[in-house]
Amino acid sequence: MADPLKTADITGNAAADLTAAAPEAAVAELPPEVVAQSMGEYVRAYVARIRAGESGVLPVVMAMVAIVVVFQVISPNNVYLSPGNLVNLFQQSAVIMVLAMAEAFALVLGEIDLSIGFVGACGAAITVQLIQPATTNWPWPLAVLAGLLFCLVFGAIQGTLITRLHLPSFIVTLAGYLVANGLFLKILLFGPFSGYPNLIGQTDNLHFIYNLMWGTIDPVVSWIGAGVVVAALGGFIWFSDSRRRTSGLVAPPASLSLIKIGLIAVVAIVVVGICNLNRGVLIVQEGVPWVIPIVIAVLAAWTILLGRTKYGRYLYAIGGNPEAARRAGINLSVVRTTAFMLCSFTAGIALLLYASYLNGMSNNVQAGYYVLYAVAAAVIGGTSLMGGRGKPLHGVLGGLVIGAIYNGMYLLALSFEWQYIVTGLVLLAAIIIDAVSRRGSTSGSVSRV
């Protein structure tokens, strides 16, 4: 059977899968900005897309700029954009960003996973307990693997129940939330640090988990690493697009490829430059925190998976129209179950960062609070609750928005209730924008993700 997504605009480069039988018809179905042959055509097509209600990440970027400007003006001593606070903002947002990327797997399917907070907490608690020197003292690679394996198995069980028994994901994952909460408390009872296994100690295993959030990379190494990343990503973008153009396939204009590479370079220079400034008061504190490349690595991995592989195309197809995907020969059960496994696996990474942030795991971990923020972050970033549209990048952008709001209100010494109110209003605005854009898109257009 032919690939059911030959002409779907999934990665923005979907023309690689155009059939040879009807190239003209296939190209005609693609959005104008995909088939644009010059920068001018691309800009005009993108403006038309915005006017049609499909603005992509533009609203969340504009919201982020507005939030930063407002808090910079009203924060005490204009400290909001100081290097130390910007690094703190990212560290505070990292858990929500990775959890939002986890939730994206379910949301793209038109489903939801309410359990990822405590499932990830169980995985992190297993890891922290296993590396305790007074008990098992496992090497950190095995401990991390055990925690993430637990998350994978839990996600597989939930995915199987949802797909094989056709149960609502809301109910199954709500039950999973309660079960994982109980398991989490049981795991914390193991060992000498009942209720609070910590990362205090001189062993390499404890130091590794602690450094996930608080460790920093040497400034010189940071610049070298940034150069390698920019060169790798830039080379991949340029040669990938060039190969498509040489092969006669639809590809973005060369000028657009150069702009993408330039933006990546600018972002890398700004981030590394800010992090390498001394942000300490009593001691020198500089260098890129390890959590930044960790988040970038997760973002890159899942972006490639969803945007450059057949599995990603199948996931979007199921989220857009499950019946059409089934008729096209896609195995809905396997794809859906795998999505919930990846959801739980990514949550395990997020809560491992949270364990590092807390310097251990506690029985008062607000995992339920974080999962709600993860859903909010994904939707605020641009992922649709209706399914069929969303990217890992949306979770990162939405997480930054929530983190920016929290950080700014903390600097203003505002109470938590205001943080909830403002975040709720931002989420409501994002849902309204999503609904309006859905209605504004033409019925015959190809779904964008």
Pick the range with the lowest mean pLDDT from 8-12, 147-151, 439-443: 8-12
CA separation for the pair 3, 163 (Å, rounded)? 22
CA separation for the pair 312, 315 (Å, rounded)? 5
Which band of pLDDT confidence, cut at 50, 70 and 90, is reported for residue 25?
very low
pLDDT at 203 over 50: yes
What's the chain's Rg over C-alpha atoms? 22
User: How confident is the model over 309-323, as a mean pLDDT?
Assistant: 93
pLDDT of residue 101: 97
In a domain, 369, yes or no: yes
Q: Is the dihedral of CA 294, 121, 152, 102 positive or negative?
A: negative
Which band of pLDDT confidence, cut at 50, 70 and 90, is reported for residue 38?
low
Q: What are 361-387's pLDDT values in tens digits?
A: 988 888 888 998 999 999 989 898 888
Residue 139 maps to which CATH number? 1.10.3470
Range of the domain at 422: 77-215+290-438
In a domain, 371, yes or no: yes
Which band of pLDDT confidence, cut at 50, 70 and 90, is reported for residue 138?
very high
Which band of pLDDT confidence, cut at 50, 70 and 90, is reported for residue 35?
low
pLDDT of residue 445: 46
- 263: which residues sit within 8 A by CB, 6+ positions away? none
Q: What whole-number percentage of the chain has pLDDT above 70? A: 85
Proportion of the chain in helix, strand, coil states, percent, rounded to 5: 70, 0, 30
Q: What are 43-52's pLDDT values in tens digits?
A: 777 777 766 6
- Find where tokens 């690689």 sit: 16
- 111: which residues sit within 8 A by CB, 6+ positions away? 162, 169, 336, 339, 340, 387
pLDDT of residue 14: 38
Q: What is residue 446's DSSP assignment?
A: P
- 321: which residues sit within 8 A by CB, 6+ positions away? 388
Q: Mean pLDDT across the chain, nearest whole number?
A: 85
Q: What are 242-292's pLDDT values in tens digits?
A: 887 788 776 778 888 899 899 999 999 999 999 999 887 778 889 999 999
- 311: which residues sit within 8 A by CB, 6+ positions away? 305, 335, 338
In a domain, 46, yes or no: no
In a domain, 301, yes or no: yes
In a domain, 394, yes or no: yes
In a domain, 121, yes or no: yes
In a domain, 53, yes or no: no
Q: Domain total for the chain?
A: 1
User: How confident is the model over 115-142, as a mean pLDDT?
Assistant: 94
In a domain, 401, yes or no: yes
User: How confident is the model over 133-143, as a mean pLDDT?
Assistant: 92
- Find where tokens 């989220």 sit: 319
pLDDT at 211 over 80: yes
pLDDT of residue 428: 85
